Structures are given as C-alpha cells and as structure tokens.
Structure 1
C-alpha cells in the first residue's frame, strides 16, 4: 500500500502536466520568421538579380558548335580506357639487355 500511493500521485501529476502542455501557445516568434531562411538561401544563389533586363547577346559558342562539342565529348566515353594491371607497372618496357 505504501508504494501504491506515490505511484498514483506520480501518474496523476504526469497526466496533469501532459494536459497542461497541450494548452501552451505555439512559438509565435518562430512562426513569424518561418521561411525566411529559404528565401535568404535562394537570394544568395542568384548571381545577378538584374540579369533578365540585360538584352546583350551572350558571348560564347553558337548552338551548332556547342552541340558538336558535346557530341564529340560524349564519344570519348563510348569505349572504356585500357587499364593495365597494377602489379605489372614498368615490367617488360626496358630495352637494355642487362649489360652496361
């Protein structure tokens, strides 16, 4: 009986504290600033905000030259490079017969 009263008292206190925790207000300071971090990160990634008003043509490759360059670049991956064994580095490449 002596151990039952403190257990009941602790469970009642826990229940009251949990029910009062539901009555707490949310975090109004955090809610007022919700999303500001994303806006700051997005703005930091923009190089020039006035870029859309610039009507000068971009200096660089034209479309045909860029397409040909990418075509030739992609062909370099058609065949994997020939890789020798790592244990045979430098073996059999000498032209000396062993005499000075």
Structure 2
C-alpha cells in the first residue's frame, strides 16, 4: 500500500520540479540591474583606474621626510592628551 501511494507522490513532485524550472523570472528588470548601484558606487570611488599601469614615479615627499612625518603621527596618536588639573576648571587663561 505504501508503494502505491509513494509512486504518485514522487511523480507529482517531479512534475512540479520540471514545471518550476521552465518558468521565466518574474522580475527581469530587477535581475538585470542587480548590483548596478554597488558597481556604480565603486566606480565613483576610483580616481585613477589606470594608476597601476603607470610606470612614472609619484611626485611627493622624499623617503626621509615621509618617515619622519609617519613617526610624528604614530607618536601623537600613542601619547594621551594631558589632562588639566581639577582645580583649574573655570579659571580664565586655561586653554
């Protein structure tokens, strides 16, 4: 008895699977433009797309000056800002 019921159910499920594979998408406009906004945003963020192919050196700081600027930046962000004394709050002349 189980075999008699399982055969029509299997055929029905197979027919449903074949039927849904042949249906065209109901949102062709959305599917065609899927991701277009993300691609446009990425393209707007790229200033010089061919910069990797440019063999000319970049004009700017020399290595010694760049390294010194980097060291100053690292030192400034690692040291905490000095806290004013609690007794000087509201006293004129404090910056």
Report the TM-score when normalising by structure 2: 0.53
Relative to structure 1, is the Cα distance of residues 55 and 76 closer, same or farther in structure 2, using a 3 angstrom cutoff? same
Relative to structure 1, is the Cα distance of residues 76 and 33 closer, same or farther in structure 2, using a 3 angstrom cutoff? closer
1:18-97 mapped onto 2 (5 Å cutoff): 25-84=25-84, 85=86, 88-90=89-91
State the distance in 1 between where 2:25 and 2:68 align.
62
- Structure with the bigger percentage of helix: 2
Which protein is bigger by CA-based radius of gyration? 1
State the distance in 2 between where 1:86 and 1:26 align.
72
The structure, 1 or 2, with the larger RCO (C-alpha pairs under 8 Å, 6+ apart) is 2
Relative to structure 1, is the Cα distance of residues 45 and 75 closer, same or farther in structure 2, using a 3 angstrom cutoff? same
Relative to structure 1, is the Cα distance of residues 59 and 86 closer, same or farther in structure 2, using a 3 angstrom cutoff? farther
RMSD: 3.1
Q: Which runs of 4+ in 1 moved over 6 A?
A: none
Question: Which ranges in structure 1 are unaligned for 5 or more consecutive residues?
Answer: 1-21, 94-100
State the distance in 2 between where 1:71 and 1:26 align.
58
